[in-house]
Structure 1
Amino acid sequence: MIDLKRRIEAFVKLGKFMGEFCEYSNKTAHDGYPNKPWFHKLEQKVRLAGQSNGWFTEENVLFALKSWSKLLTEDRLLHWLSAYNLEKSKKKNVALITAGNIPLVGFHDFLAVLLTGNSVQVKLSSNDKILLPFLAEYLREMEPTLKNTIRFTEKKLDAFDAIIATGSDNTARYFEYYFAQKPNLIRKNRNSVAVLTGNESPEQLKALGEDIFRYYGLGCRSVSKIFVPMDYDFDVFFTAIYSYKDIINHQKYANNYDYNKAVYLMSEFKILDNGFLMLKEDESYASPIASLFYERYASLKDIIVKLEQDKHKIQCVVSHGNIKNEVPFGKTQTPSLTDYADGVDTVDFLLKT
C-alpha cells in the first residue's frame, strides 16, 4: 500500500504554492516566500500557456490555480477520501486522455489517480499541455517517491490497466471502441443550464454572469442555456450582467461574437443582443461562444421533467430553491472535490477497477 499520508502532504504543499503564487501574481505579496524561484518558473509557464492557447488568459489561469489551492488542504483531502476504503485499492497504471477547453481541466482525474495509490500516464490535449507537467514537476520535487509514478506522453498510450478519457461526443465513440477491452471511464459533451423564475435578485443574476462568462463559456460547467418564464423580462437580466461588458475586448471572443452574429442575422434568426452577448431562443443546450440559448416554460414541473430526461446532456443546473441538486448562482466554476464530471464517481471507478 502506498504511503497515502506522504502523497497528501505533497498535494497540500502544491496547493499552498499555487495559492501563494496567485498572491504573488496579483501583487498582494512579494516578500517572505521561500518559493520565489518556482514562482518565476510558473510565471513563465502561465505566459507560455497563454501564447499556446489564446483562451488561457492570465486571469483565467490564475482563477484555476486559486480554485485548486483552496481544495488542496489536508482537511478537505482527508474528508473527501474518508468516504472510501482505500485499503482495497490495487496499484494500477492508469492512462488519462485530457480535454483542453479550460486550464487544468484534467487535474481532478490526475489527483484522484495518484491519491488512490496508482501511477498515471497522461496524454494531454495540445490546447492545455503546459501547466499540468509543471505542477507535476513541483509535486515530484516535494515528494521524490512520485517520480516514477507520473509520466506524460505524446505517443501512443501503452501498458496501462485502466483509462479515463474525456472528449467530444464524436471522439467518445472512438474511445469506446478503441478502449473496449480495458476498464474505462469515457466522458462526452455536457453543458450547464440555469432555471430562472423572474424573482432573482440583481446580485444573483450578476453572479450568474460568472457562470456564463468565466473561461469564455468553454467549460462543461459554463452555463450555455437559461430556462425562463413565458413573460420573462430580459432587460433585468441584461442590466445585471452589464459589468461583464469588457469581455468583448478579448480578440478571440470578439471574433466569435462577430461571426455568430453574422450567421444569426443571415439566417434571419431573432436574437436579443447587448453588444457582448446574444440570446437566441433554441431547444439545444450547446450554444456557440458569445451567445446564450434560452427556452421559455409554462411551469417549473415541466422543466424538472425535461431536465431529468436530458440529464445525460447536463453537467449542472443553476437555480435557487427550484431544482434537486442545484448549484447556487455564481458557483458552477468552483466545484468541490465530490463534484465529479458527468456525475460518475472517479474514485469509486478507480477502486473497483
Structure 2
Amino acid sequence: MSSIQNRINTFTELGKFLNQFSREETRKDSEVLNNDLFFDGFKHQMKLAQENNTWFTKDNILFSLENWSEALQKENLNRWISEESLHEHSNRTVAVVMAGNIPLVGFHDFLSVLVSGHSVLVKQSSNDKHLLPFIAKYLEYANESFKGKISFTEEKLEGYDAVIATGSNNTARYFEYYFKDKPSIIRKNRNSVAVIQGNENESDFEMLSDDVFRYFGLGCRSVSKLFVPRGFDFDPFFKGMYKQHEIIHNQKYANNYDYNKAVYLMSEFDILENGFLMIKEDESYASPIASIFYEYYDDPVDLKIKLHQDADHIQCIVANNFLENEVKFGQTQHPKLWDYADGINTLSFLSTI
C-alpha cells in the first residue's frame, strides 16, 4: 500500500469517528477504531469549545462534524487527490495560521498538508482551540506515521518551509510582509452573495436561509449580500427567512441585532426588518451580524460583469441557473474537498514546495 493511500485510510477512519456525532443523536459505535480511548474525551472537548466561544453552539459544532464526516469518506478523498501529482516522499514543514470564526475552520488546510505528506505546524485562533488538537491525537494514535508530523504553537512561528495563513484584510497585509520570503497562500476577507432573479419560490428562500444564518453568518461562505432585480418584492424572501426565527433566542446574536438596529436607526438608514434580520441597501459585501445588504440590478449581463470584476471579494455565488460556477440554494455550507477557499488549489501549492 502506498503511503498516500495509507494516509487516506487513516482520514477515512477519522471520518467514521466523527460520524458518531450528529445533530440527530450522538451514538457510540463499537466498530470505530480506538473509540474507547477517544469517544468520551471528544465529547468533553466539544463542551469546552462551546464554553470557550459562545458562537460555537452545540448545533453548529455538530453541523461542522457532520460535514467533515461526509467529506472524509474514502471515495471523496480519492477523487480529491486523483488529479494531483502528490509525491510519495514529500516532507516540508508547512505552517498553518488559522482563523477562528467557525468550528474547525482551518481543518481543510490541516488535512491538505498531512495528506500531501508534509508536516504541519499549527497556530490556532484562541476562539477555536479545543477540537483540532484532540483530532490530531486521534490521527497519531490511528497511524504512527503521523507522530512527529503534527505540532501546535502559541509562540512565534519558527522552522517552517511554507505557510498558509487566513485572516482579515488588515492581518493579510501583515502576513504578506512577514512571510514574504516563504512560499505562501495568504487568504483575506471574503463574503458570499446570492443572485435573486425574481422567479424563486418560498422553498428556495427557506434553503437560502441556511446560507444566511448557519454559523450566525460568520463564515466566508455565509451569504451577506443579495443582488435583486429592481422593484423586487421582499415579502417572499422574509417568509423564507422565517424558518430561522428562533435564532433571536441566542443572547449574543440578539445583542448584535439590537446594537446594529440602533446604529441604523440613529443614522436614519432606510432598513427593513422582521424581528431577527435587517436588510439594508448597500454596495458593500460584508454586512454586520443580524443584517444582510442588498443591491438592485437592471441588466443581468451587467451584473455578471460586476461579479466577475469583484471576484476577489466573493467566496460563493448562490443562484439558480445564472452563472457557471454558482452554488445552489442551501448548499454554501456543504463544500466538497475540491471547493477550495478563494479558488486557490491548496494541493497543487503543496505539491510544488
User: Shared fold by TM > 0.5?
Assistant: yes
SS in 2 for 1:325: coil
1:274 maps to a residue whose letter is N
CA gap of 1:227–1:75, structure 2 versus 1, over 3 A, is same
Q: Conserved in 1, the CA contact under 8 Å of 2:21 and 2:27? A: no
Deviation sequence 1:92-142 (CA, Å, 0-9, x none)? 000000000000000000000001110000000011111111111111111
Looking at structure 1, the residues matched to 141 and 107 of structure 2 have their Cα atoms a distance apart, in angstroms, of 18
Looking at structure 2, the residues matched to 266 and 287 of structure 1 have their Cα atoms a distance apart, in angstroms, of 17
Per the TM alignment, residue 42 of structure 1 is displaced from its structure 2 partner at its CA by 1.1
Per the TM alignment, residue 39 of structure 1 is displaced from its structure 2 partner at its CA by 2.1
Structure 1: which 5+ residue stretches go unaligned? none
Looking at structure 2, the residues matched to 60 and 263 of structure 1 have their Cα atoms a distance apart, in angstroms, of 28
Deviation sequence 1:38-94 (CA, Å, 0-9, x none)? 221111111100111110000000000010000101111111101011137632000
Per the TM alignment, residue 30 of structure 1 is displaced from its structure 2 partner at its CA by 5.2
Per the TM alignment, residue 29 of structure 1 is displaced from its structure 2 partner at its CA by 4.2
Q: Conserved in 2, the CA contact under 8 Å of 1:88 and 1:351? A: no
Looking at structure 1, the residues matched to 90 and 13 of structure 2 have their Cα atoms a distance apart, in angstroms, of 26
Spell out the pairing of 1:42-191 with structure 2 (5 A cutoff).
42-87=42-87, 90-191=90-191
Looking at structure 2, the residues matched to 202 and 39 of structure 1 have their Cα atoms a distance apart, in angstroms, of 40
Alignment equivalent of 1:27, drawn from 25, 31, 46: 25
Q: Conserved in 1, the CA contact under 8 Å of 2:28 and 2:39? A: no
Normalised TM-score (structure 1): 0.97
Deviation sequence 1:319-348 (CA, Å, 0-9, x none)? 000112000000000100111111100011
Normalised TM-score (structure 2): 0.97
SS in 1 for 2:20: helix
- Count of equivalent residues: 351
1:212 corresponds in structure 2 to 212
2:340 corresponds in structure 1 to 340
| More deviation, 52-61/30-39 | 30-39
2:229 corresponds in structure 1 to 229
1:295 corresponds in structure 2 to 295
SS in 2 for 1:95: strand
Looking at structure 2, the residues matched to 286 and 344 of structure 1 have their Cα atoms a distance apart, in angstroms, of 21
* Identity in percent: 56
CA gap of 1:186–1:28, structure 2 versus 1, over 3 A, is closer
| More deviation, 82-91/205-214 | 82-91
Q: Conserved in 2, the CA contact under 8 Å of 1:21 and 1:39? A: no
2:224 maps to a residue whose letter is S
1:27 maps to a residue whose letter is E
1:68 maps to a residue whose letter is W
Q: Conserved in 2, the CA contact under 8 Å of 1:11 and 1:72? A: yes
Q: Conserved in 2, the CA contact under 8 Å of 1:192 and 1:225? A: yes
1:246 maps to a residue whose letter is E
SS in 1 for 2:54: coil
